[in-house]
Structure 1
Amino acid sequence: MGIFSHDDNSNTTCPMPKYLVADAPDNVVGDLTFHQFNMILSGACTGLTCLVIFMSMFNHAIHLSDPNRQIKIMRIAIMFPIYSIFSLLSICFPDTYVYLNGWVKFFEGIAMYSFLMLLCDFLAPNDRHRVEFFASLRIPSKFDKGKTTDGLSWLKRSWFVVLQYPFVAFILAIAQCITQAQGTYCLESKDKHFAHIWINIIGIISLGVAIVAILGFYNNLKGYMKEHKPLLKLLAFKLVVGLEFLEQIIFMILHSTDALKPSDTLSYADTIIGLPTMLICLQMVPFAFLFYYAYTVKPYKTSNSGVKHSSDSQQYLAVVDSESGGHYIKRYQGGPLGIYAWLALFNPVDFFRDIKSTFDMFHDARTGPSREAGMNMPDYRM
């Protein structure tokens, strides 16, 4: 017996069919059923999205002059083709939807964490400068306008709140796959005996607090990042997450009111999976182009001015140091076809190394002299 268990004495059954098949009998476009039309349209959109995002990632990989920032940009970018490819697979094979959807949230969590750390890189290039910068800030309290919080403690809290989401999403993705395999998930049920409602509630809470933390981070520090166009970067990333979340609510309402139900042209699988995933594939196309523009590779490209080029493709890059006002020289570090960037992107050890580095920064800064010096600097008000 258990909250997600089934036995012979239980009257609780999942209202969904055991196997989902897109088998609507009537055509919608010429000789094509909705499912066939959906696969063609969503496949074309997925291909275009992957092409645009791959071009963006490839440009950053071969012009890898600032690995700390550009690897994070590539981690954010990978979310777009994952959204599209997993949605297309769910359209073609409806029974895989529940197994794939949870992992989309996991990659979304990695992208959200990478976005927060990218904003930190915009503010300070390394851990030492980051401690000094945030230790100098006083962040106004959201609940008591007369109180402030020191910037380093506020950063640590924001970091933990955002970091929890990919780990929670990972656990929920595993739980979703296990309960679906056991027949105790039930995508269409809100009954407490099924895992769907509980996994959704936990996921929404985890995602919600992470989004609030990132928006608060941006709102408090946007004045320091104007040259990086943080609003455009925020919109290119957050609109995807926000719109997908809004569409979930809309489709939930449509299903609960029977405004959207199976017909001769729409099968049960089309209404609960085909339509929502088709919208995701469609909207990823303009968002991919927006991402390409918002996260342009231009700031990381080699400056031709005053630089003598050799026959080696690893050209030099002169960059303005925002801390000292001087210039320093960098090389492209991506290797042939950006191979080192791709290896870093798909290396989970590198991701956990970044997490450990930030955790060590907080640990070392608790009694560090840089924080004590920073506390004597002026308060921050926005």
Structure 2
Amino acid sequence: MARHALRYSDPNQQVKPEFFASLRVPNTYTKGTSDGLSFLKRTWISVLQYPIVAFILAIVQSVTQAQGTYCLEGKGAHFSKIYITVINIISLYMAIFNIIRFHKHLKSYMGENKPMQKLIAFKMVVGLEFLEQIIFMILDATNTLKPSATLSYADIIIGIPTMIICLQVVPFAFFFFHAFNLKPYTKANTTRASDGSQQYLAVDGNEAGSPLGKRYKGGPLGIYAWIELFNPGELYHSIRNTWRMFREAKMGKSEMNLNPEPYA
């Protein structure tokens, strides 16, 4: 399994399409199977759509609020809030559903990376917030929560939901240190795989007899990693490279169909 996990996380762009092309993944809708590259593409699009949709909905909310057609407590069909909320819920559900499905079919290849712990640490916060939005929508619609001498309208709409979110992320903040453990990426634990590539590619200078020894690629205190974190070009390059991978894999599959190997 470690060998497969290494190939899956290999930075070599050629290894990834080869790895996924070798997989047959059960298809939920046709009850058959589909190739791993098609499965990866559907998952990638389904997850990537959420930040795009959320950004568009934020713009729509600002525009409709300026036009007076967005109301925080409006429940009528003539207010845009209900449509924005429904679209956001559907988009979020698609992203989370496909992430869970991806883990279900590929967990045997990612066991050493503890993907479920990472998924729970991040997505459970989003899932709880999503559930709480539904609960407060129901409470607001049924007038179960309403202003009183000790509870204002702002407390019901903003104060209480925000306080709950702030309290529940505290234990998750500690859980993040466990789920996203740095130990596999430290110099003492970074080893070489049998094919000559570093297991996690966290350090440079791992060659025998290197005068500098192992060095972190992130630079002093990870300064290079922080710079890359705030580099918007990284997101663009990642999307472009992934889309190019899908396109080249599709072209390669088409060439194989046009020029099949002779039957032996």
Residue matched to 2:191: 319
- Over the matched positions of the two proteins, sequence identity in percent amounts to 57
**Which ranges of structure 2 fall in alignment gaps of 5 or more residues?**
205-214, 257-264
* Alpha-carbon offset, residue 336 of structure 1: 2.9
Cα deviation digits, residues 242-294 of structure 1 (max 9, x gap): 10011111111111222211111111000111000000111111111111110
The one-letter code matched in structure 2 to 1:324 is: D
1:158 to 43, 56, 80: 43
Residue matched to 1:248: 133
**Mapped partners of 1:318, 1:292: distance in 2:** 19
Asked whether 1:208 is paired with 2:93, we answer yes
Residue matched to 1:65: none
* Alpha-carbon offset, residue 325 of structure 1: 7.1
SS at match of 2:42: helix
- Whether the 8 Å contact between 1:158 and 1:213 is mirrored in structure 2 is yes
* Alpha-carbon offset, residue 230 of structure 1: 1.2
- Whether the 8 Å contact between 1:141 and 1:149 is mirrored in structure 2 is yes
The one-letter code matched in structure 2 to 1:177 is: S
After the TM superposition, list the runs of 4 or more consecutive aligned residues in structure 1 that deviate by more than 6 angstroms.
Answer: none
Question: Normalising by structure 1, what TM-score?
Answer: 0.58
SS at match of 1:236: helix
The one-letter code matched in structure 2 to 1:366 is: K
- Alpha carbons of structure 1 residues 198 and 327: separation in structure 2 relative to 1, 3 Å: closer
Question: How do residues 289-304 of structure 1 correspond to structure 2 at under 5 angstroms?
Answer: 289-303=174-188
The one-letter code matched in structure 1 to 2:15 is: H
The one-letter code matched in structure 2 to 1:131 is: P
**Mapped partners of 2:197, 2:57: distance in 1:** 48
The one-letter code matched in structure 1 to 2:130 is: F
Structural RMSD (CA): 2.2
Question: How do residues 325-344 of structure 1 correspond to structure 2 at under 5 angstroms?
Answer: 330=204, 331-344=215-228
SS at match of 1:253: helix
The one-letter code matched in structure 1 to 2:239 is: I
For CA contacts below 8 A with separation 6 or more, give which structure has more relative contact order.
1
SS at match of 1:357: helix
- Alpha carbons of structure 1 residues 276 and 149: separation in structure 2 relative to 1, 3 Å: same
- Alpha carbons of structure 1 residues 211 and 327: separation in structure 2 relative to 1, 3 Å: closer
SS at match of 1:149: strand
* Alpha-carbon offset, residue 228 of structure 1: 1.0
Question: Normalising by structure 2, what TM-score?
Answer: 0.83
**Mapped partners of 2:143, 2:108: distance in 1:** 47
* Alpha-carbon offset, residue 320 of structure 1: 3.5
* Alpha-carbon offset, residue 122 of structure 1: 8.0
2:14 to 128, 131, 136: 128
2:27 to 125, 137, 141: 141
* Alpha-carbon offset, residue 326 of structure 1: 6.3
**Which ranges of structure 1 fall in alignment gaps of 5 or more residues?**
1-119, 304-316, 373-382
**Mapped partners of 1:295, 1:135: distance in 2:** 29
* Alpha-carbon offset, residue 144 of structure 1: 3.6
Asked whether 1:172 is paired with 2:172, we answer no
Alignment length (residue pairs): 237
Asked whether 1:231 is paired with 2:116, we answer yes
* Alpha-carbon offset, residue 327 of structure 1: 5.2
- Alpha carbons of structure 1 residues 326 and 334: separation in structure 2 relative to 1, 3 Å: closer
- Whether the 8 Å contact between 1:139 and 1:149 is mirrored in structure 2 is yes
Cα deviation digits, residues 13-34 of structure 1 (max 9, x gap): xxxxxxxxxxxxxxxxxxxxxx
